[in-house]
Structure 1
């Protein structure tokens, strides 16, 4: 990670030794060491559902197969039932409905079904009751699935990275914002006050909390065993130029998708604005302002059926 990492200095050795996380040897996004206990505490509070964590392990295991995924999903009947609803919805676009998960895997592929299973299981985390805080969890979830869907489209068009990896990165890019809202909501008015004075959301968070939502989201993702590039996509989606080289394509995809979704009115916060992606982000992807406009014009169709993934 770079000079703005989710880790405090005393955690560097753990990050460097872990194959699931980017090495910090090139620099780190440093936080005050006094914040480290809060990150550890948040990690304990912000655990993902067991199905989601096991599906993540499957996603990172090259030897995992269809049967492994079936066995995990079937351990939670609610997730399995909701997954079948989504598989047979307009979002997946199957010509004929299917009656079982094995058939869905045959038609959609293990990567697509795995992404849907993660979406459904993680969605329950967003749907938990939350005191008044920084944002509306339902709005954040809508933003997350929009960014995920747009990320898949961009990755497919640009051949920049694996489309389902892009989908997952888009889905979880703002989960740190959810955790802040759930567990530090009393500080939300101060963050909002700084935003109203002209600060960006990450800057306002750092001013009030000494860290931002990308940092804490990346830290929790690392502790939950997410693949290293997904951790980087969370950490750097507001600072793609600072990202380590190996994760840059995925981070660029999520950054562009986040901008398009937010500008389209499907942002995490009402009225929030993000800067347009620079040529330094677009050009290496084979994109320019014209192709960005084409992506924009396709957005109504791209996100038309995202509502099928609404929190049940």
Structure 2
């Protein structure tokens, strides 16, 4: 029965609509080393929603830009091509996550807010630990909960049973696994695998709740795990899952994070979340 349910869930991955055509083209363009801001701006003009989200992120207090940015080219001048590329990616992710996520009690916009917060926290961790900046870690953090988009309907149907299991004091994703035969992290990894994302990035999403069970441990998986847990611990995007989360002791040891550093990043995450708050209203 459980295996039949898992097969049904996995079969939904093939029919799941990926990003809009413009969003997909924008991400492809960002991977082109010869691309420039004018090309990206021209493409985004075809999707006003993407452009609006990009500019809202750019104009948030997080970046502290003194004057309002009104175009992609202006954004590049003010914060640089690399940061704008990441914000375009965040805006593209909004195109598929800005909806109510049934089963998880997440109203429209909350999953995107959580995803952006985890990405920002991951970057903060990299700076604090003096780890070289990585676009792939940012992307993995941004996409880590994508599996909820498919699993939510199944969670909704079995929520009473899942909550009974979770009431035993185990994390929500483990309760998902026990009842459904899979969990949102595994489904998210399979989604990215089907979209031909790099293996390391797929693994970071697949094991973001349980990095110690990954076939191979790595910095990307550990960073995304710790960033996600920090955001959940301070209440960003918790929904029905509650607060039953703590960072893996092994992951924090592998990264060399001290408790004082975790406290610092947690307090910074709250500050960053407040600075970005206007974007999600």
TM-score w.r.t. the length of structure 2 is 0.85
Match of 2:90 among 119, 125, 140: 119
Residue of structure 2 aligned with 1:263, choices 202, 212, 233: 233
CA deviation vs aligned residue, 1:15-65 (integer Å, no higher than 9, x gap): xxxxxxxxxxxxxxxx95984454132331242333333333345455544
Residues 270-290 of structure 1: CA deviation (Å, up to 9, x unaligned)? 532212331x32233332122
Aligned pairs, how many?
278
Question: 8 Å contact 1:51–1:76 — kept in the other structure?
Answer: yes
Q: 1:194 corresponds to which residue?
A: 165
2-structure distance, mates of 1:106, 1:129: 35
- Determine helix, strand or coil for the equivalent of 2:243: coil
Sort the Cα spacing of 1:62 and 1:228 in 2 relative to 1 into closer, same or farther, 3 A: farther
Moved more, 146-155 or 157-166: 157-166
Partner of 1:145: 116
Of the candidates 123, 126, 130, which is equivalent to residue 155 of structure 1? 126
The residue number in structure 2 matching 1:107 is 78
**Is 1:301 aligned to residue 271 of structure 2?**
yes
Structure 1 CA distance for aligned equivalents of residues 29 and 154 of structure 2: 29
Q: Is the 8 A contact 1:84 1:100 kept in 2?
A: yes
- Residues 144 and 120 (structure 1), Cα distance of their counterparts in 2 relative to 1, 3 Å cut: same
**Is the alpha carbon distance of 1:38 and 1:205 closer, same or farther for their aligned partners in structure 2, counting shifts above 3 Å?**
same
Report the CA distance shift for 1:296/1:37 in structure 2 as closer, same or farther (over 3 A): closer
1:251, CA displacement in angstroms?
1.1
- 1:145–1:306 CA contact under 8 A, matched in 2: no
Matched, 1:40 2:18: no
CA–CA separation in structure 1 for the residues paired with 2:130 and 2:215 = 19
Q: Using CA pairs below 8 Å that are at least 6 residues apart, which structure has the higher relative contact order?
A: 1
Superposition CA RMSD, Å: 2.8
Q: Give structure 1 regions of 4+ aligned residues with deviation exceeding 6 angstroms.
A: none
Over 3 Å counting, the alpha-carbon distance change for 1:74 and 1:241 in structure 2 is: same
Residue 182 of structure 2: SS of its match in structure 1?
coil
Of 53-62 and 112-121, the range deviating more from structure 2: 53-62
Report the Cα offset of residue 110 of structure 1. Answer: 2.4
Who is 2:69 aligned against? 98
Output the CA distance in 1 between the equivalents of 2:30 and 2:160.
38
CA displacement, residues 241-281 of structure 1 (integer Å, 9 cap, x when unaligned)? 34355x71111111111121111122433532212331x32
